[in-house]
Structure 1
């Protein structure tokens, strides 16, 4: 899940679905401020530690892959995302439960992600980054919006950061922290605070939707998963070797995702 959040367009919520922990994940976040907070913390702590380790240790690798092998890397994640679709169709029991309104919602979600994929924010060049109060406020609200969307399969928090013009700032700040540059720490604190608040708000909304509008929510999630392909799409390879790498990467991503989906027999 931590690796997914480093890739614009790939949602950690999608990975939670594949791992069969989505319902527990959402429920634990919403219970963190209730009397059942101890159980919630025990469930979330390993996840948070694992995601934190991935972010701190793999940021440079992800940067390298996106810089040197962008097309195959993105197509690997496209395969990973498309491999979720068969599982979502099974979970939603679409042949029995879906009506015209559900299919319209799927179409609208796909169209929304297609439109979002065309948008890019104006990002501050990281090497010229100066920590100011307006920047910290921007990063706080960026964290809120990113975390609220990361809980939905199909919408990546990192994609939202990219749209808001905050993605490169976050990646730069993480790498600077790894280099023990503590001057950048306020940026990460601002983003982190926003993420925590966004998670608490979004988890309750999603739980309510799954409880009261179950199959409409399934339709929305299905549309978001399918539409996220447009956000990841990097174009086509240019050389024969790149074509081979890209096709193999896409097949590998789909196979891994599809296999994990077949192993997951639970519903959301």
Structure 2
């Protein structure tokens, strides 16, 4: 396919959206890829980085290698994702600390709409599709109630964390940032990005590359062989993940991190009025509902004008 400079700029902007989403625990970059119409091309492009294409690279057939892996597409996307990671990591971290209810409300609306958009792509509803969506909801919900761990900062664990978290880049509904949170590495990696700790970034990136290449092949096979069941499962993941992004929470237990700062360990979802009664703080209900609606309709509009919808 022949693309113009403008096309690649748009792809880079979609990459920025994916990167921004994956910085937040509970929001998936794969969701953005799906609704902007680049999901299956992304999967196939990553899958094409295999022994055959690597052989071309080792033979210095660079032009053939670049064409085989859809290099212009991947490079544009990676540039966009990198821009988001490096520029938005600190901003989103600060927003989550200072305005958690408002930020989570926006993403709650975004995820509800995304789940509907993805479910709409199921071409035929059968019992197995319904079972798949229920299984997805159950798995994602169970993941959200797992207690985050305090883990080692050793290079081997950073490599493993990168390999697991990157799967969310191409898996709608499961957030890479949330996986890092469960592994006890979210804040550590976010700080490394903010302060440009090159050793941490490099080890994490190598692990991410290994995980991405292996997982893309599995996902590509599932989408080809069991398309409706796979889409239903992914939609279920997103619905189940809503438990994580509910804006109003009550801290049940805390822990002291390595820097001596007390942080929430286990939280329960509560109603806005209960939140006000317990915390004495404003639940910001009207603004939260407004932001949730903005997030919801943003996804609906993006889907309406996406390349896949136009087809």
TM-score, structure 2 as length reference: 0.76
Matched residue, 1:23: 40
Mapped pair 1:82 → 2:112: yes
Matched residue, 1:146: 165
Matched residue, 1:205: 218
Between Structure 1 and Structure 2, whose CA radius of gyration is higher? Answer: 2
**In 2, are the aligned partners of 1:86 and 1:258 still within 8 Å (CA)?**
no
Matched residue, 1:121: 148
Give the one of 139, 144, 150 matched to 1:112.
Answer: 139
Matched residue, 1:262: 304
Q: 1:73 to 1:37 in 2, by over 3 A?
A: farther
C-alpha displacement of 1:244: 2.0
Q: Which runs of 5+ in 2 are unaligned?
A: 1-17, 54-63, 249-270
Distance 2:73 2:166 in 1: 18
**In 1, are the aligned partners of 2:170 and 2:216 still within 8 Å (CA)?**
yes
C-alpha displacement of 1:122: 2.8
**In 2, are the aligned partners of 1:120 and 1:164 still within 8 Å (CA)?**
no
Describe the superposition over 1:214-263 as per-residue Cα deviations: whole angstroms up to 9, x where unpaired.
11111111111211211222325545571122111100000101111222
Q: Which runs of 5+ in 1 are unaligned?
A: 125-131, 178-183
Matched residue, 1:38: 66
**In 1, are the aligned partners of 2:105 and 2:291 still within 8 Å (CA)?**
yes
Give the one of 72, 78, 81 matched to 1:51.
Answer: 81
Describe the superposition over 1:159-181 as per-residue Cα deviations: whole angstroms up to 9, x where unpaired.
1111111111101111221xxxx
Mapped pair 1:249 → 2:291: yes
**In 2, are the aligned partners of 1:80 and 1:257 still within 8 Å (CA)?**
yes
Task: Compare the two structures and name the one with the higher helix fraction.
Answer: 1
**In 2, are the aligned partners of 1:87 and 1:262 still within 8 Å (CA)?**
no
Matched residue, 1:136: 155
* Cα RMSD after superposing both structures: 2.0
Distance 1:115 1:83 in 2: 21
Distance 1:148 1:90 in 2: 23
Higher relative contact order (CA 8 A, sep 6+): 1
- Count matched residues: 251
**In 2, are the aligned partners of 1:2 and 1:52 still within 8 Å (CA)?**
yes
Mapped pair 1:66 → 2:96: yes
Distance 2:65 2:43 in 1: 13
